[in-house]
Amino acid sequence: MLAFVLLALPSVGLSDDRTVIHPGFNLFSPQQDIELGKKASTQVPRQFAILNNKRVDQYLQRLGTRLAAHAPGYKYPYQYRCIDSETINAFALPGGFVYINRGVIENADNEAQLAAVMAHETAHVALRHGTSQATKAYAAEAGLNIVGALIGGNTATSLMAQLLGGVGVPIAFLKMSRTDESQADILGAQILHDAGYDPQAMADFYEKLGNLPQPAEFFSDHPSPEHRIERIDQEVDRLNGAPANATHDSREFKAIKRYVKSLPPPPSKPVGPVADVDAGGPAIPSTEYASFTNGEFTLAYPDNWKSQAQYGGASFAPERGVINDAQGNAAMAYGVIVSVFAPQDISGNTPTLEQANKELIASLEQSNPKLSVMRAAESTTLGGQPALSTYLQADSPAGGAEAEWLVTTLRPNGLFYIICIAPQKNYDAYGSAFRAVIHSVRFPN
């Protein structure tokens, strides 16, 4: 029996020309999505400050239930909760566990804009993006052909154990691809429309976020597809615009927004032991940056980290970021490694970026058998050059699972790569610093 389910999401029979989206290849069943999401949700309080406010959660649940009633595919037991953070962000776990930062409520102009973010996350669940990402990462690592692959249930069971083996929410559930984001935008707009909201609210909110002085965390964790707002506008046209008597705002939303703004401010420190220096973990990354250059590249790094030049690269880590592993060897648990990898030229041809990236990961796996790909490589840029971004997982020398963000690009002297490393349970405390380092990389002309 197949251990995966391919659910076609047909049009709901309305007189419009909506885009039809089909979920991708998936090793897991919808019931396994729920099991994975339920177990992963128990780790959320370790990484995020939960607001735990009954009034706010009940409002989000009512609004979410209205949206989820129009989500196609398997009918998951959708649950909506509020994260006590002023950053504008949200995320969803498989099986219907959706989390909305209070910053979304505080910055939305009306209920339709809040509903747009919730519909986007609901679409990720309906399209099963979290477990599809994990499936694609496994297939890429195992060298499987996704099309027509018939994989038994034991594979899904073992992969579930791998995903839930560490401490923290699996990074495959938190980091989506650009294709996933585009699909969630399109289906989210459809859900908004069918729930009686003006779907244009999604484009309006994204435009507002794009005009903020500081980039919204939502765009950092939800990589923007090309022409994101324009594609939503196109889908709104396909839906024939807003439904009759569309909801834009409500008195309940205005009351909740005022109430949330009146609550005590969120905790100033990230959740988890990383923020607790006395517990032996490093201090959180500084928001001030120092500069490093060695003739091959320049970058910026938090000024409370130490830099150490190495042949062809460098390492950057906070105090207590490098610790001894189980074998007594010094290993980086928190920080960034920059280096150059020389692919083996066995064909006489210059390897492509994709080939060199796969060879690097294979080399890393040889030195660390516990290393696994959690999200397959996708295109990005590094220092203005074409690059690949891959998310990995391994055992952390600090205990539990380790999340690794690998970014690679070809340079004249080989494959230039950066690995951003932190325990998975604390990764969010380092995410902004890692993104700043990656975006600061520059190469000489």
Domains of the chain: 30-262 (no CATH), 273-440 (3.40.1000.10)
Give rounded-to-5 percent helix, strand, coil for the chain: 40, 20, 40
**Tokens 């690995």 sit on residue:** 419
Q: Residue 53: how many CB atoms within 10 A of its CB? A: 18
Tokens of 103: 């910053």
- Cα R_g (the chain), whole angstroms: 22
pTM attached to this predicted model: 0.68
Q: What is the pLDDT of residue 73?
A: 95
Half-sphere exposure of 441 (CA within 13 A, CB side): 28
Identity at 28, one-letter amino acid code? F
Phi, psi of 119 (to 5 degrees): -70, -40
Q: Which of 185, 235, 402, 404 is catalytic?
A: 185
* Terminal-to-terminal C-alpha distance of the chain: 56
Specify the DSSP element, H or E, that contains 392. Answer: strand 385-395
Q: Residue 324: how many CB atoms within 10 A of its CB? A: 11
Tokens of 237: 């046209």
For residue 421, give Cα distances in angstroms to 80, 92, 303: 30, 23, 17
55, 109 Cβ separation under 8 angstroms: no
Q: Which of 121, 180, 221, 404 is catalytic?
A: 121
Half-sphere exposure of 153 (CA within 13 A, CB side): 6
Q: Residue 354: how many CB atoms within 10 A of its CB? A: 12
| Backbone torsion region of residue 194, taken as left when φ is above 0, otherwise alpha when ψ lies between -120 and 50, otherwise beta | alpha
72, 91 Cβ separation under 8 angstroms: no
Q: What is the pLDDT of residue 419?
A: 96
Any catalytic annotation for residue 185?
yes
Q: What is the mean pLDDT of each run of 10 residues along the chain (445 residues)?
A: 36 70 91 93 88 97 98 97 95 96 97 98 96 78 44 58 63 80 97 98 95 77 81 97 95 98 80 42 88 92 91 88 77 93 72 93 84 86 94 88 93 94 85 90 91
For residue 407, give Cα distances in angstroms to 173, 402, 425: 19, 16, 21
Tokens of 352: 């492509």
**Tokens 């970014």 sit on residue:** 407
203, 236 Cβ separation under 8 angstroms: yes
User: What is the distance between the alpha carbons of residues 144 and 142, in angstroms, rounded to a whole number?
Assistant: 6
| Residues in contact with 105: Cβ distance below 8 Å, sequence separation at least 6, in sequence order | 56, 82, 114, 256, 257, 260
Identity at 313, one-letter amino acid code? G
Tokens of 214: 């500081």
Tokens of 168: 């923290």
DSSP-derived 3-state class of residue 301 = strand
Q: What is the pLDDT of residue 370?
A: 82
User: What is the distance between the alpha carbons of residues 270 and 335, in angstroms, rounded to a whole number?
Assistant: 17
User: What is the distance between the alpha carbons of residues 370 and 364, in angstroms, rounded to a whole number?
Assistant: 10
The two beta strands, 385-395 and 401-411, are antiparallel
Any catalytic annotation for residue 252?
no
Strand ranges in 50-147 using DSSP code E only, listed in sequence order: 79-83, 90-93, 97-101
DSSP-derived 3-state class of residue 87 = coil
Identity at 117, one-letter amino acid code? V
Smallest CA-to-CA distance from 104 within 157, 51, 42 is with 51
Q: What is the pLDDT of residue 274?
A: 38
Q: What is the pLDDT of residue 150?
A: 37
Alpha-helix residue ranges (DSSP H) falling in 263-305: none
